[in-house]
Structure 1
Amino acid sequence: MKLLSKEQIYEGDKLTTERQNISSTDLMERAGTQIFNWIHLRMQGAQVPIHVFCGIGNNGGDGLVLARHLITHGYNVITYIVNCSDKRTKDFLINYDRIKNVSKDWPKMLSCNNDFEDIVIGEEDIIVDAVFGIGINRPPHEWVQKLFQKFRESKAFTLAIDLPSGLYPDRPVEDEDAVVHASYTLSFQSPKLVFFLPDTAKYTAHWEALDIGIDRDYLIQTETEAELIAKLEVIPLYKPREKFSHKGMFGHVLIIGGSYGKIGAVNLASRAALSSGAGLVTAYTPKCGYHSLQTAIPEVMVITDDEEKFISNINFDIKPSVVGIGVGLGTSEKTMQAFQTFLKSNKLPLVIDADGLNLLAENKSLLKLLPAQTILTPHPKELERLVGKWSDDFEKLKKVKAFSKKYNVIVLIKGAHSITVYHDKLYVNTTGNPGMATAGSGDVLTGVISGLIAQGYEPLAATIFGVYLHGKSADISLEDYGYQSLIASHIIETIGEAYIDLFKQPEQPQQEEEQKK
Structure 2
Amino acid sequence: MRLLTPDQARELDQISMDDLGISGTILMGNAGSRISDVALELVADFHNPFILIICGKGNNGGDGYAAALELSKNNINVKVHSLYSIDEYKGDLLDYYLKCYSSNISITFGIDLPDFTPPDLIIDGLFGIGFKGKLKETLVPWVEWINNTKSSVLSIDIPSGLDGNSGTVINHAIKSKATVTFGAPKLGCVLRQGKNYSGLIYTKEIGFPNLDTIQIQGLDWKLFEEFDVNDILKKPDLNTNKYTAGKVLVIAGSRGMTGAAILSTFGALRSGAGLTITTTPASLNGIMERSILEGMTLPLEDGGSGYIGFNHYDEIMNTVEWADTIVLGPGLGRERHTQKLICKLVSSIEKPIILDADGLYPFSDQLEKLNKRENPLVITPHLGELSNLIGKNKNDIIFNFPIIMTNLMKDFHHVALVKQVPNCTFYKNHAIVNSSGNPGLATGGTGDILAGMIGSLIAQNYTPFNASFLASFLHGKASDMLVNEKGYRGQIASDLLDKIPSTIGCYERF
- C-alpha separation in 1, matches of 2:134 and 2:451: 42
- C-alpha separation in 1, matches of 2:147 and 2:327: 48
Structure 2 residue aligned with 1:386: 389
- C-alpha separation in 1, matches of 2:156 and 2:83: 15
Structure 1 stretch displaced more, 369-378 or 212-221: 212-221
* Structure 2 residue 362 is matched with structure 1 residue 359: yes
Structure 2 residue aligned with 1:471: 476
Give yes or no for contact 2:162–2:169 (8 Å, CA) kept in 1.
Answer: no
Structure 2 residue aligned with 1:34: 34
- C-alpha separation in 2, matches of 1:147 and 1:455: 54
Structure 1 stretch displaced more, 472-481 or 371-380: 371-380
CA drift of 1:493 comes to 2.1
Structure 1 residue aligned with 2:78: 77
Cα deviation digits, residues 187-218 of structure 1 (max 9, x gap): 223211222444x6388253503222545644
Aligned in 2, Cα 1:44/1:284: closer, same or farther, shift over 3 Å? same
Structure 2 residue aligned with 1:191: 185
Alignment map for 1:16-165 (pairs within 5 Å)? 27-46=27-46, 49-55=50-56, 57-71=58-72, 73=74, 75-84=76-85, 85-90=87-92, 93-94=95-96, 96-97=98-99, 100-101=102-103, 106-110=105-109, 114-120=110-116, 122=118, 126-134=121-129, 147-148=142-143, 150-151=145-146, 157-165=152-160
Structure 2 residue aligned with 1:204: 197
Structure 2 residue aligned with 1:327: 330
Aligned in 2, Cα 1:108/1:263: closer, same or farther, shift over 3 Å? same
Aligned in 2, Cα 1:24/1:338: closer, same or farther, shift over 3 Å? closer
Structure 1 residue aligned with 2:288: 293
Aligned in 2, Cα 1:138/1:359: closer, same or farther, shift over 3 Å? closer
Give yes or no for contact 1:310–1:330 (8 Å, CA) kept in 2.
Answer: yes
Structure 2 residue aligned with 1:512: none
Aligned in 2, Cα 1:238/1:336: closer, same or farther, shift over 3 Å? same
DSSP-derived class of the 2:360 partner:
helix
- C-alpha separation in 1, matches of 2:166 and 2:260: 38
Aligned in 2, Cα 1:121/1:276: closer, same or farther, shift over 3 Å? farther
- C-alpha separation in 2, matches of 1:14 and 1:311: 57
Aligned in 2, Cα 1:261/1:136: closer, same or farther, shift over 3 Å? closer
CA drift of 1:375 comes to 1.3
Structure 2 residue aligned with 1:439: 444
Given residue 488 of structure 1, which amino acid in structure 2 is its aligned partner?
Answer: A
Structure 1 stretch displaced more, 49-58 or 215-224: 215-224
Structure 1 stretch displaced more, 446-455 or 401-410: 401-410
Given residue 324 of structure 1, which amino acid in structure 2 is its aligned partner?
Answer: V
CA drift of 1:473 comes to 1.5
Give yes or no for contact 1:13–1:214 (8 Å, CA) kept in 2.
Answer: no
Given residue 278 of structure 2, which amino acid in structure 1 is its aligned partner?
Answer: A
Aligned in 2, Cα 1:35/1:395: closer, same or farther, shift over 3 Å? closer
Identity %: 28
DSSP-derived class of the 1:3 partner:
coil
- C-alpha separation in 2, matches of 1:434 and 1:297: 28
Structure 1 residue aligned with 2:222: 227
Segments of structure 1 that go 5 or more residues without pairing to the other structure are 506-517
CA drift of 1:335 comes to 1.8
Give yes or no for contact 1:185–1:204 (8 Å, CA) kept in 2.
Answer: no
CA drift of 1:99 comes to 7.0
* Structure 2 residue 344 is matched with structure 1 residue 345: no
- C-alpha separation in 1, matches of 2:41 and 2:213: 29
Aligned in 2, Cα 1:34/1:376: closer, same or farther, shift over 3 Å? same
Give yes or no for contact 1:285–1:311 (8 Å, CA) kept in 2.
Answer: yes
CA drift of 1:290 comes to 2.5
Given residue 81 of structure 1, which amino acid in structure 2 is its aligned partner?
Answer: S
The Cα RMSD (Å) is 3.7
What's the TM-score, normalizing by structure 2?
0.83
CA drift of 1:299 comes to 1.9
Structure 2 residue aligned with 1:513: none
CA drift of 1:90 comes to 3.6
CA drift of 1:352 comes to 1.2
Give yes or no for contact 1:45–1:73 (8 Å, CA) kept in 2.
Answer: no
What's the TM-score, normalizing by structure 1?
0.82
Give yes or no for contact 1:46–1:75 (8 Å, CA) kept in 2.
Answer: no
Instruction: Provide the aligned length of Structure 1 versus Structure 2.
Output: 496
* Structure 2 residue 271 is matched with structure 1 residue 272: no
Cα deviation digits, residues 26-82 of structure 1 (max 9, x gap): 554443333333333343242565321134554233323433444455655332234
